[in-house]
Structure 1
Amino acid sequence: MNKKLTVAIYGAGARGSHYARCCQEFADEIEVVAIADLKAERVAELAEELHIPRENCFSSGEEMLEKDRLADVMFICTQDREHFKPAVAAMKKGYHLLLEKPVSPFAEEYGELLRVSRETNRQVIVCHVLRYTPFYQKIKEIIESGSIGDVVSIQAMESVLWWHQAHSYVRGNWRNSEETSPMILAKCCHDLDLLLWLSGKRCKQVASFGSLKVFKGENAPKESSEYCVDCKVKESCPYDAEKIYLYNERTGVMKGNCQWPCDVLTLEPTVETVRRAIEKGPYGRCVYRCDNNVVDHQVVILEMEDSSTADLTMSAFTAGSRSIDVMGTLGEIKGNLDENYIKVLPFGGKTVKYHAEDLLAGLSMEYDPYGHGGGDKRLIRDLINLLNGSGGTSSSLTSLERSLESHYVALAAEESRVCSGRPVEMEKFVAGFHSL
């Protein structure tokens, strides 16, 4: 029997705590034994829940890394610009890594991460969780079966959801690229990774268009206020904080949601604590009066090395979910992630449909507030298999080497967008960072 893997959590925010709880699904094989976060109340709550001894609870990740290695693997779940330094330090301490995406907003750091991982012989798994969902794994299986022939075009839609945009990219942690990452990297490196992985092809050049069109001061209604609670036009505004965090059927605490996004506002979401958080806190601000600068819509076009193409549309102005259309020489695949359906349409043949019960058979979907279709738990499963040598290296494994291509493409797309859609050649773009 393989030994139980041990985990140290560096950053116990929403994602770090979620991965820690996902580990409980495999309690016989993996256990969280140490935790660090700047917020003492987060550490205390998770430590009590997971029975972590006091001596393994730390007020910062830096403090935890000063100790001798405490676990087999470290989960680094800090903000985008806070991944690189702890990742390097942790590998040198002997930790394998589960590294939250994006790896870094700075491409010049990618080569150093690869170098250190090879020198220390440490595994680095990037949290591109969508590769692990039954939905995208089934699409990959269909493509590799050859039933739709060679992939010529892929069209993907990243429907951010109107309230998710307001929460994360207007009011929240990823609102300003000067503090975090461009949105195409922070949000959509998932989607670009899927386009590359599903097609099995490398990107030759990329072009992109997009802007911050709506969520800016000039669009604020005349009688709007700095905070939603005082606003005279809140009744007609879908972005009203009370509507999102209190009353919304999916996100509101009054509807029983005590997980994400409400747990970002307050450690223990209740009607009272959420109300206090939005009265004068960042998540109660008018969406037209924040310090956000990231785009609210963007289109990315990829030309692959074999002249096939892929495109991604990211939009904040949606009520749906991710969808995809894969077009091949012999047929087509259409799918929607939230609805968990896939249709295969072979040319001249009979349509084959896969529904939710087929895709989710045997998969526990409890505690999946992020809409990742079970990918988070399967990521932990694959991590266990890799580090214990019981599952080999599956074709979906999101190693650092595999994951970085989507990061380069995202940064090239942002360069193209800023330069009014000028195409960026990937070979030259990547080479420019390696020559620094």
Structure 2
Amino acid sequence: MNKDSVNISTEEDESQFDNGKVVKLIVVGCGQRGHVYSQYAIERPNRLKIVGVCDPIKYRREKMAKEFGLEQDKIFSDWNDIINLEKFADAVLIATPDQLHRDPAIAFANKGYHLLVEKPLAITEEDCKLIVDAAKKNNVMLSVCHVLRYSPINLKIKELIDSGLIGKVMNIQHLEPIGYYHFAHSYVRGNWSNIEKSSFSLLTKSCHDLDLIHFFFSSPATDGGKSKYSYKKCKKISSFGGLTYFNKENKPKEAGDAKRCLSCPISNKCPYSASKIYLEFYPWKKFVLVPDREPTLENVKLALQNGPYGVCAYESDNDVADQQIVNLEFDDGTTCSFSMVAFTEEMCIRKTRIFGTHGQLECNGSNIVYDDFRFGDKEIFTPKVIQNTKMSNHGASDYYLMRSFVYAVSQNDPTQILSGPDDTLTSHLLVFKAEESRLKNTVINF
């Protein structure tokens, strides 16, 4: 490999994102994700200030209000109460449950607030379009929390692709290993376990994986528009999979009639045991189990005795897919295969292989291995990641997402956003069409 042929950027200077303006943000939804994103205001108070919080659960909203020193008149149980006031912030973070994104997003756009919306944007194709239309009509910025676009390792992959290092990208293989205990927590017992209560798992868990694939197949835009990238058109989609394991038919006979893990005779050897996941790993996910009071060990035990997180993984009301594959063909003949799998030891450490005409890239979540077909060289890239942050999830992508959005608002520059309205809408449509293919058992012409 000719080392001079590729311009590989170094770690960015954080000071370039300090421009003297402090963006004011309202947080609607004070659960886990809302709280994580809001930490940017603590780590970078010269860039972001939380000026209002909203959540129907008193404990959560008051806990966050105390953390950010908010007065009582800036603490809300219903987002409609904020809409009825004069605009008092630059932007709003919508981190409500997935099925409750549409109405507040549209209302805040109509009020002139810039929007940061947790993924997925909405749970139906129509609602996604309505939110995008509202943002455009009101000339407000919309960023969706497709955090994978913002991770240093994925941006390095994108940089290497755009440099021409591996020639034309012909095929991508991408795996999301959800993690056996994470899937049991979120998609068997938790908030995303039931389609009627939330949505299908490809959307709620992996919409940002298909978005990332969409991103990797894009090329730098040359039209000077609001998006940095132009995208290939997907021509065909097929998908297979479903709920194949977490049901009563697969319940071990030795478990007998036990409906809860605390009373199960084989809880100590079941990989999906709530006793092991929440008590041995305590305090893992304790705020999710006990959202309305202090999540002490005693309160966690009570939640396992009485709540959904203590139910046997084979006795829950879950109905979402526990494994699914998606195949994509684009208009130039290039292809992609994506796998979402519950049954993995690693949790959400994506594996990506990108095959080009001159070389290939393989990413294991921390390093990128480059193999050059022309000269037989091999090189390993390890992108630098910010270390002094509590926002370290997804390879610190949570931090970089917030940095991008806050800077975009402060500069009134939507090109700073990597996951804008049009990009997001297209990748969401890929997800909806993939699920349609799975349900109809047919190839969908996109």
- Shorter-chain TM-score above 0.5: yes
1:118 to partner: Cα distance = 1.7
Indicate conservation of the 8 Å contact 1:227/1:280, yes or no. no
Candidates 289, 305, 309, aligned match of 2:331: 305
CA distance in 2, matches of 1:364, 1:133: 15
Q: Which residue of 1 aligns with 2:445?
A: 425
SS in 1 for 2:244: coil
Shift of 1:276: 1.6
Alignment partner of 2:432 out of 411, 419, 426: 411
- Is the 1:385–1:392 Cα contact (8 Å) retained in structure 2? no
Structure 2: segments with no counterpart, 5+ residues: 1-18, 219-231
Give the match for residue 358 of structure 2: 330
- 2:381 maps to 354
Is 1:397 the counterpart of 2:428? The answer is no
Q: Is the 8 A contact 1:37 1:60 kept in 2?
A: yes
Residue 286 of structure 2 corresponds to residue 262 of structure 1: yes
**Structure 2: which amino acid aligns with 1:231?**
C
- Cα deviation per residue 1:192-220 (whole Å; 9 max; x = unaligned)? 00101011133111100001010011111
Q: CA RMSD in A?
A: 1.5
Identity %: 37
Tell me which residue corresponds to 2:239.
208
Q: CA deviation at 1:223?
A: 4.2
Give per-residue Cα distances to partners, 1:273-309, cap 9 Å, x unaligned.
Answer: 2212111111111000011100000000000111000
| Residue aligning to 1:433 | none
Moved more, 305-314 or 345-354: 345-354
Report the counterpart of residue 127 of structure 1 in structure 2.
145
Q: Distance in 2 between matches of 1:359 and 1:203?
A: 33
Is the Cα contact below 8 Å between 2:21 and 2:46 reproduced in 1? Answer: no
Q: Which residue type is aligned with residue 322 of structure 1? A: R
Which ranges of structure 1 fall in alignment gaps of 5 or more residues?
Answer: 427-436
Who is 2:8 aligned against? Answer: none
Looking at structure 2, the residues matched to 359 and 349 of structure 1 have their Cα atoms a distance apart, in angstroms, of: 26
User: Could you tell me how far apart the structure 2 residues matched to 1:33 and 1:148 are?
Assistant: 47
Match of 1:277 among 293, 303, 310: 303
CA contact (8 A) 1:11 1:61 kept: no
Using the TM superposition, give the Cα deviation of residue 62 of structure 1 relative to its aligned residue in structure 2, in angstroms. Answer: 2.1
The Cα of 1:392 is off from its aligned counterpart by 6.3
1:374 aligns with 2:396: yes
- Residue 120 of structure 2 is aligned to residue 102 of structure 1: yes
Q: Deviations over 1:342-382 (max 9, x none)?
A: 10111133111123xx432x4434343xx411111111110
Which residue of structure 1 lines up, in the alignment, with residue 55 of structure 2? 37
Match of 2:185 in 1: 167
Match of 1:393, SS?
A: helix
Counterpart-to-counterpart distance in 2, 1:363 and 1:119: 39
Match of 2:43 among 4, 9, 25: 25
Q: Is the 8 A contact 2:141 2:414 kept in 1?
A: no
How far 1:64 sits from its partner (Å)? Answer: 2.3
SS for the counterpart of 1:359 is coil
In structure 1, the partner of 2:228 is: none
Q: Is 1:23–1:380's contact at 8 Å kept on the other side of the alignment? A: no
- Would the aligned equivalents of 2:30 and 2:54 in 1 still touch at CA under 8 Å? yes
Q: Would you say the 8 A contact 1:196–1:202 is kept in 2?
A: no
Q: TM-score, normalization: structure 2?
A: 0.89
- Equivalent residue pairs, number: 408
Structure 1 residue 401: Cα displacement: 1.0
Q: How does 1:311-322 map to 2 (within 5 A)?
A: 311-320=337-346, 321-322=349-350
Partner of 1:430: none
| Contact preservation (8 Å) 2:129, 2:425 | no
The one-letter code matched in structure 1 to 2:51 is: V
Match of 2:176 among 158, 167, 172: 158
Local SS of the residue matching 1:154: strand
2:16 counterpart residue number? none
C-alpha contact (below 8 Å) 2:43/2:389 kept by paired residues: no
Residue 196 (structure 2) aligns with: 178
Structure 2: distance between partners of 1:163 and 1:53:
39
Give the TM-score, by structure 1 length.
0.91
Superposed displacement of residue 70, structure 1: 2.4
Match of 1:83 among 101, 106, 112: 101
Counterpart of 1:318, as a letter, is: T
The residue type equivalent to 2:443 in the other structure is P
| 2: CA distance, partners of 1:60 / 1:217 | 39
